Amino acid sequence: MVRQRVSVLIALLAAMLVQEGQSQPEIPQTPAGKVFAAWLTSFNSGDPAQLRAFDEAYPRPEMPPIEQRLMFREMTGGFKLLRIEKNEPSAITALLQENESDTVARFELTVSPEAPVKVLSSTLEAIQRPADLAIPRLAQADALAALSARTDQLAKSDQFSGAVLVARNGKVLLEKAWGLAKRETGTPNTLDTQFRLGSMNKMFTAVATLQLVEAGKLKLDDPIGKHLTDYPNKDVAAKVTVRHLLTHTGGTGDIFGPEFTKNRLTLREHGDYVKLYGARGLTHEPGAEHRYSNYGFVLLGALIEKVSGASYYDHVRAKVFQPAGMTSTDSLPETEKVQKRATGYTKQDGKWVPNTDSLPWRGTAAGGGYSTVGDLLRFAQALESGKLISKAMLAEATKPQAEEYGYGFGVNDDWPLRSYGHGGGAPGMNGDLRVYTQLGYVLVSLSNLDPPSASRAINFYELRMPVTP
């Protein structure tokens, strides 16, 4: 036990030295290098005045509003420079790491060759951590201790509030809650706290849809108009299939935006969403590309209701939650009192405030329900055992069908970290479930704070957990 604690301490100290003690590489004094240095300084400052000064010095098209960049700065904690990958007078590529996580990103910048220097293009994209920067893997006990210590630290600095569960081969290795479910009353989060899921509902919708496919009541290549016979847009009804909806390739668009904000409290059933959005056309030809579509999963909810003859909510309770033993998962309206449902908190002007004014009237087939870390473990176990859908159908649902997405599940197909699951996030809520098929792990993290508070806990453990069977 003493040896384990010492090794964990060494690992944590090493991580802190990497994050805090190492000097950053020197930025070249080229035109591109000087612009990059100015950008990094202004972004890391978190100061609106410095961001505006940079914008004035280097105006460029399609620059996100300062408010969005400040939110991104809050989320990342700023960046530190890991190395310069490309150094030319008018172009630079730099590898960066978030100060608040292990996430690595590549920044690419090109500027005009002549004075005054202008920004021609700039991109910032998260990438897989390069092999030479890999974080050393720990023994299982050490990795669990490191995760617990890291989450303790984040909770103390008010950057995490929620619950985390780690299980392997059916055995729960870590299950712990942090922070407050209701700040106004000082109510603590517990393992029974029900956290809002965001888009994690899509897994339940996908399973319910695939159950109907296996029962012969739906076919993956059925056009939605075969069942939703009065669908307003006939082009959408004829071209978009169940498979397209499950893989976000249908071109059906989103639900969020001005129309949703205006009608937030009157959108109460899936049919209400169809009435509001059903007349619009396709964003692209079905099957041509993968473009995340919340409305596509609302349509799956409408299909489930049409084919089953029951409300989406009753059907999912009976066919998914009850067989899996999920007694704390549902999508009751916000107007109904759910005793253990946490209040979500979103950051505004540097303070955590309730997210009440952004919530839909109730969760839908696209997202917005609530659950516990224990229920989500039971869901994963029911899936793996074949209790909800056949193992053959699960294999199809959790392999890449369109980019890194299956049938309602996000998929990582890289051995030995092959996994499936789904994340969810919106102001005041974040969650993540990942099932590692080869390694036997189930990781769950739920939070009642802004993204990526929950997913960061999963990412932290994934980079350090042992990968031997």
Q: Which residues pair with 460 in a beta bridge?
A: none
Cα 374-375-381 angle, rounded to 5 deg: 90
Residue 148 three-state SS: helix
Q: Which residue in the block uniquely carries the two structure tokens 């809002």?
A: 196
What is the model's pLDDT at position 319?
Answer: 98
What is the model's pLDDT at position 59?
Answer: 86
* Residue 355 confidence (pLDDT) above 60: yes
pTM of the predicted model as reported, rounded to 2 decimal places: 0.89
pLDDT digits (tens, 9 = 90+) for 136-195: 999 999 999 999 999 999 999 999 999 999 999 999 999 999 999 999 999 999 999 999
What is the model's pLDDT at position 22?
Answer: 53
pLDDT digits (tens, 9 = 90+) for 87-102: 999 999 999 999 989 9
Residue 216, Cβ density class (10 Å: 0-12 exposed, 13-18 middle, ≥19 buried): exposed
Q: How many CA atoms lie within 13 A of 156 on its CB side?
A: 6
Q: How much of the chain, in percent, has pLDDT values that exceed 90?
A: 88
* Residue 21 confidence (pLDDT) above 50: no
* Residue 413 confidence (pLDDT) above 80: yes
Tokens of 187: 């109510």
What are the DSSP calls for 38-54, one per residue?
A: HHHHHHHHT-HHHHHHH
Helix, strand, coil content of the chain in percent (nearest 5): 40, 20, 40
Cα 432-10-445 angle, rounded to 5 deg: 10
What is the model's pLDDT at position 52?
Answer: 93
Q: How many CA atoms lie within 13 A of 236 on its CB side?
A: 24
The whole-chain average pLDDT of the chain stands at 93
What is the model's pLDDT at position 115?
Answer: 86
Confidence of residue 20 (pLDDT cuts 50, 70, 90): very low
Q: Under CATH, which number does the domain 22-133 receive?
A: 3.10.450
Distance CA 346, CA 122 (A): 29
Q: Which residue in the block uniquely carries the two structure tokens 């920044």?
A: 107
What is the model's pLDDT at position 402?
Answer: 95
Which pairing describes strands 429-436 and 441-447: parallel, antiparallel, or unpaired? antiparallel
> What would the mean pLDDT of 20-24 be, rounded to a whole number?
57
What is the model's pLDDT at position 16?
Answer: 41
Distance CA 202, CA 200 (A): 5
pLDDT digits (tens, 9 = 90+) for 208-253: 999 999 999 999 999 999 999 999 999 999 999 999 999 999 999 9
* Residue 418 confidence (pLDDT) above 50: yes
* Contact by Cβ (8 Å): 448, 188: no
What is the model's pLDDT at position 17?
Answer: 39
pLDDT digits (tens, 9 = 90+) for 252-284: 999 999 999 999 999 999 999 999 999 999 999
Domain boundaries, the chain: 22-133, 195-464
* Residue 61 confidence (pLDDT) above 80: no
What is the model's pLDDT at position 460?
Answer: 97
What are the DSSP calls for 205-272, one per residue?
A: HHHHHHHHHHTTS--TT-BGGGTSTT-S-HHHHHH-BHHHHHTT-S----S-SHHHHHHTTT--SHHH
Q: What are phi and psi of 361, to 5 degrees?
A: -60, -40
User: One fold for both 22-133 and 195-464?
Assistant: no
- Using alpha carbons, select from 318, 286, 290, 144 the residue that is nearest to residue 220: 286
* Residue 5 confidence (pLDDT) above 80: no
Q: Which CATH superfamily is domain 195-464 in?
A: DD-peptidase/beta-lactamase superfamily (3.40.710.10)
